[in-house]
């Protein structure tokens, strides 16, 4: 691809010259990067369905699906975001703890509750300060999930009992 400039009135217009690409490369780039049926299965909230769908994804395409799940976890309705969080947990996303930690600041009580729940399930020791802070959250459901997560991460309650 060559970038070329055309003079314009008080500006330069740049365009891409794709004449050097062959048809095969262009067709491959136009193919949809994700199979929406697979993505729908990943967002099913069912562990076995998620694992089965993830196993079907070719290795060279996995990053695209993981990125789509991360994007869904941060955008959309709470129900969709929770489904994405569940999928990220099930597939053991390498940056799960940091993604969940960001989501503990979400405006939705439900999203915060599930984020702290999965922090506990994943025994994310690095998120202990965030989990402790959520034990004082305004939502009783988030506080309860934070207490459970704290116990799972530390093996004891906040007060120090075993």
Q: Model's pTM, two decimal places?
A: 0.75
CA 122 – CA 70 distance, rounded (Å): 17
The answer to whether 70 and 84 are in contact (CB under 8 A) is yes
Domain ranges of the chain: 96-162
State the maximum Cα–Cα separation within the chain, in Å, rounded to a whole number.
Answer: 75
pLDDT by residue (tens digit) across 78-101?
999 999 999 999 999 999 999 999
Report pLDDT for 124.
93
Closest CA to 22 of 1, 43, 47: 1
Q: What topology is assigned to 96-162 in CATH?
A: 1.25.10
* Residues in a beta bridge with 6: 13
pLDDT by residue (tens digit) across 100-135?
999 999 999 999 999 999 999 999 999 999 999 999
Residue 86 CA neighbour count, 13 Å, CB half: 20
């Amino acid at each position: 691809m060559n970038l070329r400039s055309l003079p314009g009135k008080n500006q330069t217009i740049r365009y891409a010259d794709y004449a050097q690409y062959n048809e095969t490369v262009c067709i491959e780039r136009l193919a949809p990067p994700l199979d929406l049926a697979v993505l729908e299965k990943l967002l099913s909230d069912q562990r076995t369905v998620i694992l089965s769908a993830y196993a079907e994804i070719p290795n060279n395409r996995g990053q695209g699906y993981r990125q789509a799940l991360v994007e869904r976890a941060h955008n959309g309705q709470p129900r969709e975001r929770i489904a994405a969080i569940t999928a990220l947990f099930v597939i053991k996303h390498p940056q799960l703890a940091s993604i969940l930690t960001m989501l503990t600041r979400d405006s939705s009580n439900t999203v915060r509750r599930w984020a702290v729940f999965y922090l506990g399930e994943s025994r994310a020791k690095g998120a202990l300060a965030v989990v402790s802070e959520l034990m004082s959250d305004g939502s009783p459901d988030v506080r309860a999930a934070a207490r459970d997560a704290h116990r799972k991460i530390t093996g004891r309650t906040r007060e120090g009992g075993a």
